[in-house]
Amino acid sequence: MKVLIADRISPIGVDLFKAEDGFDVVEAYGSSPEQILDLVKDVDAIAVRSDTKVTADVIAAAPKLKVVGRAGVGVDNIDIEAATDNGVIVMNTPTGNTIATAELTFTHLLAGTRPIVQACATMRDGGWGRKDYTGSELNQKTLGVLGMGRIGAEVAKRAQAFQMEVLAYDPYLTESRANNLGVKLATLDEVIEQADYITVHMPLTAETKHMLNADAFGRMKDGVRVFNCARGGIIEEAALIEALNSGKVAAAGLDVYEDEPPAEDSPLRSIKNLVLTPHLGASTKEAQENVGIDVAKQMIDTLKGGIVINALNMPSVDPKVLEKLAPYMTLGEKIGTFSQQLAPEGVEKVSIRYYGKMVELDTLPLTNAVQRGYLREISDNVNNVNAPKKIERLGIDCEEIKNRNHDEFNELIEVQVVCKGGKTRTIAGTLVGKNQLPRIVLIDGHGVEVNTDATLLVLKNKDVPGIVGFIGVTLGEDGCNIANMSLSRDKGEGFAVSVFELDTAPSEAAAKKITDHDAIEKYRVIKL
């Protein structure tokens, strides 16, 4: 395994890579974009901080690349979409700087409460303006926290130590979790209108961009204090400037900005009741060391086939769960491949149904396996990372349904493809015997038992005498050896479904002879 460490991380993290047998570690700090393009040609992994840009061109130049690890939280320097398209895992280290960012946030809260920064500047200029720098107290004030993830929760914990009441807004925060944290669950409007202090701890998304805008500031308490150590753009800077200048906002603190760094002539730089820091959230010795160690451990585990954690473009699953899922994943991939070849065109929806005890496990890896199998014959370079995206780009809606019980089987994976016009084809399979061998057991509702390690000839024919003999003779004359066959009769419709396990696929001449027969309704060769 070749690992490129493009930006400086903790020496302990570097040593962790070097200690692994079979790992070739290249340290290339400060490399130019052109040098990076040359260095990545044969690498399996790239570790970065924020300096090196892992662009689509870099990813395209690295055909062996499996994982990109960001020592830190923000991944603006990594083209996640290009990575996903190429099946490359992108991971970050969101916990390593949690305490550092929480403590910086609280530093801003304190600096916005007592004008320490301004008083210090006066002292350095020879002044002594005791009467000019009267502050306030955190005690008994209400802090509104927007976003109660790891950092928001740590800020809330520190606020409670200062006897503050905490209102928490987070769409994903449950009442029980809020109670455990000792905070009051609130709506966004309640936080905006009731809080004396507001601090932001949410990602920048289309929904959170300019969440605190002119309208929001207009509804806040007079003399409110506002802080952002999360992501620039959540607070609308123009609206904040106006609110600070008007006195609506008594004080504010920013560590992140809409454009970084802010322009030298930015109005933000001249507002006296605004404390600015240059994106220092993770800038502690401890945090820098933590993220370097974390990214090394995560990348090593991933490269060695272990648990994948903190991935931004695929699910993280415990290895013990993966071990239990492994035979089901093999089955799911085979069913996915079968279903695509059974209905190769015009598919609008793929419905994946799980039955039995497997529904108690995390079935997302199973769904990825089905998707991977579905794409095997129609797309290149498919893996668990890019399969969901590739399915989506084909315009196919994919759904997952769980049901503990099935009428006929204890456990079953069923894949139904819905074609244009509403026509459906259904394949289902289960595991058989102590060795948990994958078998196809239903084709469009017809019961069969089919090995999944074969070339399959699937026929639907009128249930009339002589068909099996005709097929046997035709395949024999073509040199196709039949390893096994399964037949399911439907007396109600007068049709039969038969599946022949073959050593080789029939020739075009044999295929034409079979499909020209008056009793043959459907003919498919499935390669599993």
Instruction: Give the Å distances, CA to CA, from 88 to 23, 36, 381, 382.
Output: 18, 17, 10, 10
Q: Which of 174-178, 211-215, 371-375 has the lowest mean pLDDT?
A: 174-178
Q: What is the pLDDT of residue 243?
A: 97
Three-class secondary structure assignment of 116-141: HHHHHHHHHCCCCCHHHHCCCCCCCC
Catalytic residue among 81, 137, 260, 286: 260
For residue 108, indicate whether it is catalytic.
no
Averaged pLDDT for residues 48-72: 95
Q: Which of 83-87, 255-259, 275-279 has the lowest mean pLDDT?
A: 83-87
Do residues 179 and 326 both lie within one domain?
Answer: no
Strand 455-462 relative to strand 424-432: parallel, antiparallel, unpaired? unpaired
Averaged pLDDT for residues 424-442: 93
What pTM was estimated for this model as a whole? 0.66
Residue 13 lies in a domain: yes
- Tokens coding 233: 């753009």
Instruction: Report the length, in residues, of the chain.
Output: 528
Do residues 483 and 426 both lie within one domain?
Answer: yes
Q: Which residue has the higher pLDDT, 251 or 318?
A: 251
- Tokens coding 521: 């309704």
> CA 144, 146, 151: angle at the middle one, nearest 5?
105
pLDDT band at 415 (very low <50, low <70, confident <90, very high): very high
Residue 337 lies in a domain: yes
pLDDT band at 340 (very low <50, low <70, confident <90, very high): very high
Do residues 336 and 415 both lie within one domain?
Answer: yes
pLDDT band at 201 (very low <50, low <70, confident <90, very high): very high
Q: Which residue has the higher pLDDT, 308 or 209?
A: 209
Averaged pLDDT for residues 19-31: 95
pLDDT band at 383 (very low <50, low <70, confident <90, very high): confident
Q: What is the pLDDT of residue 361?
A: 85
Give, as one character, the DSSP assignment of residue 147: -
Q: Is the dihedral of CA 164, 165, 169, 175 positive or negative?
A: positive
Q: Are the CB atoms for 374 and 339 separated by under 8 Å?
A: yes
Q: Are the CB atoms for 447 and 486 separated by under 8 Å?
A: no
Do residues 426 and 445 both lie within one domain?
Answer: yes
Do residues 269 and 155 both lie within one domain?
Answer: yes
128 has a pLDDT exceeding 80: yes
Q: How far apart are CA 222 and CA 244, in angstroms?
A: 11
For residue 425, indicate whether it is catalytic.
no
Averaged pLDDT for residues 268-295: 93
Q: How far apart are CA 310 and CA 171, in angstroms?
A: 21
Do residues 444 and 394 both lie within one domain?
Answer: yes
Averaged pLDDT for residues 392-397: 89
Domain tally, the chain: 3
Q: How far apart are CA 159 and CA 140, in angstroms?
A: 10
CATH value at residue 51:
3.40.50.720
Q: What is the pLDDT of residue 492?
A: 67
491 has a pLDDT exceeding 80: no
Percent of the chain with pLDDT over 90: 77
Residue 103 lies in a domain: yes
Residue 51 lies in a domain: yes
504 has a pLDDT exceeding 90: yes
pLDDT, tens digit (0-9, with 9 covering 90-100), for 129-172: 888 899 999 999 999 999 998 899 999 999 999 999 999 999 88
Q: What is the pLDDT of residue 305?
A: 79
Q: What is the pLDDT of residue 381?
A: 75
Q: What is the pLDDT of residue 312?
A: 87
Q: What is the pLDDT of residue 173?
A: 86
Q: Are the CB atoms for 443 and 486 separated by under 8 Å?
A: no
384 has a pLDDT exceeding 90: no
Do residues 366 and 479 both lie within one domain?
Answer: yes
Do residues 80 and 113 both lie within one domain?
Answer: no
Residue 359 lies in a domain: yes
Do residues 372 and 462 both lie within one domain?
Answer: yes
Q: What is the pLDDT of residue 309?
A: 83
Catalytic residue among 201, 225, 231, 439: 231
Q: Are the CB atoms for 6 and 46 separated by under 8 Å?
A: yes
Residue 311 lies in a domain: no
For residue 279, indicate whether it is catalytic.
yes
Q: What are phi and psi of 132, to 5 degrees?
A: -85, -10
Do residues 394 and 472 both lie within one domain?
Answer: yes
Do residues 342 and 465 both lie within one domain?
Answer: yes
Residue 309 lies in a domain: no
Averaged pLDDT for residues 384-401: 89
Strand 446-451 relative to strand 437-443: parallel, antiparallel, unpaired? antiparallel
Q: Which residue has the higher pLDDT, 129 or 183?
A: 183
Q: What is the pLDDT of residue 97?
A: 86
Catalytic residue among 114, 210, 279, 489: 279
Strand partners, 418: 349, 424
CATH value at residue 435:
3.30.1330.90
Do residues 62 and 204 both lie within one domain?
Answer: no
Q: How far apart are CA 387 and CA 272, in angstroms?
A: 52
Q: Give me the domain span that covers residue 204.
A: 98-276
What's the mean pLDDT when you consider all of the chain? Answer: 93
Give, as one character, the DSSP assignment of residue 506: P
Residue 308 lies in a domain: no
